């Protein structure tokens, strides 16, 4: 879905909510169930936390609160049902509160709570790269990303949102209905910035006294004028709740950069920028302090039975295409199915286009989830200097490789996931499309 909104915060929020009201209602239905399945707590529990931590303590600026209020009002009017501000706020806080914060809340609820790190499901999230200069066919920037996530949640990540706010920069981003930040993340801004990331595997930090990550990433994209400005804004309110390897590009300076955020450690600023080269991500921190001191898997770099396989595959593919990287071969690379561990062409938890639903976990001694778990690639995006100048990018919905996912077939083959019946939906095969100004 390609949606355009504009104006002051309340106005553009209402447009968002009204245009996507039905989709917001469906999204909340899935994710309220998902939150309860993971935590045995109703959505209202996390809504109370969101209000206490972020609204009562004024950690989210009024502009974003008004935008979320507008979304709630617009969606309620469109659906003729009550979709509350608390619902929209909590949905935006999902990563902070339910993936990251739940460990803290769980310890408050039970002294016998098991190790919270296993709960966060942070492993095997996304694949991405950014290239520039002598690495690309024309010297411009090429950026790509595929989102990996739980299908129950990620099946709603099919919105291209074009926001022209009354202050700050225009943004075009992939997002979900009701979200005000990208969170996948894939964003192009009218300041000439391209922004994406891959989550860091096994990360265990979170500071509930800091602003939620969605607020900080949205503000950085809306107001930052260059890479240094963007990283400074992100560093100022970093809560560790969404530890990422951010990949950044600036079409005005022709530079790319990597900025990694833990809670205690971050990439030193100003970050190193390249005018020639490639930077890639696959859920492994390159920063030694973050990888060794803030994650539970310091050997991830070399472990080709896990995400290390994608690191090795990126290096091979990007060396092979160095000097020739363009939209066409990037689309092929992001949909790649070569398994570096098994040395076969078969999609799995170790391939750039992840198919955990196709992986029994035996080959690698487990991939952090039960066998054939409904998790993996749900999209693909490619942005270039040229597309960013036209305020957009190319995208494919479904999987990076284009293969369809049919919920009924999957649940028939894997009846252990019968708890998803009535919630899991199809993602038919889709072609690439361009979302740029005409």
Q: What is the pLDDT of residue 106?
A: 84
Q: What are phi and psi of 120, to 5 degrees?
A: -75, -15
382-424 tens-digit pLDDT: 999 999 999 999 999 999 999 999 999 999 999 999 999 999 9
Q: Is the pLDDT of residue 367 over 80?
A: no
165-182 tens-digit pLDDT: 999 999 999 999 999 999
The stretch 308-313 carries a mean pLDDT of 97
Mean pLDDT for all residues in the chain: 95
- Integer CA distances (angstroms), 168 to 32, 55, 224, in order: 33, 23, 8
Q: What is the pLDDT of residue 118?
A: 42
Contact criterion met (CB below 8 Å) for 130 and 278: yes
Q: Which residue has the higher pLDDT, 273 or 205?
A: 273
Q: For residue 368, what pLDDT band results from cuts at 50, 70 and 90?
A: confident
Contact criterion met (CB below 8 Å) for 252 and 192: yes
Contact criterion met (CB below 8 Å) for 89 and 47: yes
294: Cβ–Cβ under 8 A, 6 or more apart, which residues? 203, 204, 205, 243, 262, 263, 264, 265, 285
The stretch 200-221 carries a mean pLDDT of 93
Give burial (CB, 10 Å; 0-12/13-18/19+) of 418: exposed
The stretch 87-94 carries a mean pLDDT of 98
Axis crossing angle, helix 327-334 with helix 308-321, rounded to the nearest 10: 160
Q: What is the pLDDT of residue 387?
A: 98
Q: What is the pLDDT of residue 310?
A: 97
The stretch 339-357 carries a mean pLDDT of 97
Instruction: Using DSSP bridges, classify how beta strands 244-250 and 126-132 pair: parallel, antiparallel or unpaired.
Output: unpaired
Q: For residue 204, what pLDDT band results from cuts at 50, 70 and 90?
A: confident
Q: What is the pLDDT of residue 114?
A: 57
Give burial (CB, 10 Å; 0-12/13-18/19+) of 416: exposed
Q: What is the CATH number of domain 2-109?
A: 1.10.439
Q: What is the pLDDT of residue 111?
A: 67
26-49 tens-digit pLDDT: 999 999 999 999 999 999 999 999
Contact criterion met (CB below 8 Å) for 189 and 31: no
Q: What is the pLDDT of residue 112?
A: 63
248 forms beta bridges with: 195, 257
Of the options 3.20.20.70, 3.60.60.20, 3.40.50.300, 1.10.3720.10, the CATH number for the domain spanning 127-296+372-431: 3.60.60.20
Domain residues of the chain, as ranges?
A: 2-109, 127-296+372-431
Question: What proportion of the chain, given as a percentage, has pLDDT over 90?
Answer: 88
98-126 tens-digit pLDDT: 988 888 888 888 766 555 544 444 567 89
Q: What is the pLDDT of residue 119?
A: 42
Q: What is the pLDDT of residue 366?
A: 67
Q: What is the pLDDT of residue 123?
A: 61
**Token output for 149:** 């996530």
Q: What is the largest CA-CA distance in the chain?
A: 58
Contact criterion met (CB below 8 Å) for 359 and 389: no
Rg over CA atoms, the chain: 20
């Amino acid at each position: 879905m390609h949606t355009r909104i504009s104006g002051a915060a309340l106005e553009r929020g209402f447009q968002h909510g009204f245009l996507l009201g039905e989709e917001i209602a469906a999204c909340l239905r899935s994710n309220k169930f998902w939150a309860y399945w993971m935590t045995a707590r109703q959505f209202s529990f996390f809504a109370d936390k969101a209000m206490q931590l972020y609204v009562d303590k004024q950690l989210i600026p009024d502009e974003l609160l008004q935008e979320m209020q507008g979304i709630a009002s617009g969606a309620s009017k469109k659906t003729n049902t009550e979709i509350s501000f608390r619902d929209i706020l909590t949905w935006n806080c999902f990563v902070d509160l339910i993936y990251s914060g739940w460990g803290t809340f769980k310890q408050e609820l039970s002294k016998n709570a098991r190790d919270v790190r296993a709960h966060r499901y942070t492993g095997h999230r996304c694949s991405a790269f950014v290239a520039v200069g002598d690495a690309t066919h024309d010297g411009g920037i090429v950026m790509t990303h595929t989102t990996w996530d739980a299908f129950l949640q990620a099946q709603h990540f099919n919105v291209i949102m074009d926001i022209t706010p009354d202050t700050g920069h225009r943004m075009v981003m992939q997002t979900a209905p009701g979200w005000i930040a990208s969170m996948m993340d894939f964003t192009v801004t009218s300041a000439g910035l391209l922004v994406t990331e891959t989550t860091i595997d096994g990360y265990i930090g979170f500071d509930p006294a800091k602003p939620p990550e969605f607020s900080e990433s949205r503000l950085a994209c809306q107001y930052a004028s260059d890479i240094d400005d963007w990283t400074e804004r992100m560093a100022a309110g970093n809560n560790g709740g969404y530890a990422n390897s951010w990949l950044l590009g600036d079409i005005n300076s022709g530079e790319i950069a990597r900025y990694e955020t833990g809670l205690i450690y971050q990439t030193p600023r100003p970050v190193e920028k390249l005018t020639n080269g490639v930077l890639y991500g696959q859920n492994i921190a390159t920063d030694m302090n973050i990888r060794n001191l803030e994650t539970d898997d310091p050997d991830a770099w070399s472990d080709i039975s896990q995400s290390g396989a994608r690191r090795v595959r990126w290096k091979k593919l990007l060396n092979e295409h160095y000097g020739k990287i363009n939209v066409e071969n990037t689309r092929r690379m992001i949909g790649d199915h070569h398994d570096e561990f098994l040395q076969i062409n078969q999609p799995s938890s170790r391939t750039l286009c992840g198919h955990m639903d196709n992986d029994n976990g035996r080959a690698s001694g487990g991939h952090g989830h039960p066998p054939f778990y409904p998790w993996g690639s749900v999209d693909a995006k490619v942005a270039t200097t040229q597309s960013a100048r036209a305020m957009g990018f190319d995208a494919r919905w479904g999987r990076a490789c284009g293969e369809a996912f049919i919920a009924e077939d999957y649940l028939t083959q894997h009846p252990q996931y019968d708890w998803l019946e009535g919630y899991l939906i199809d993602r038919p095969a889709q072609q690439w499309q361009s979302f740029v100004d005409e």
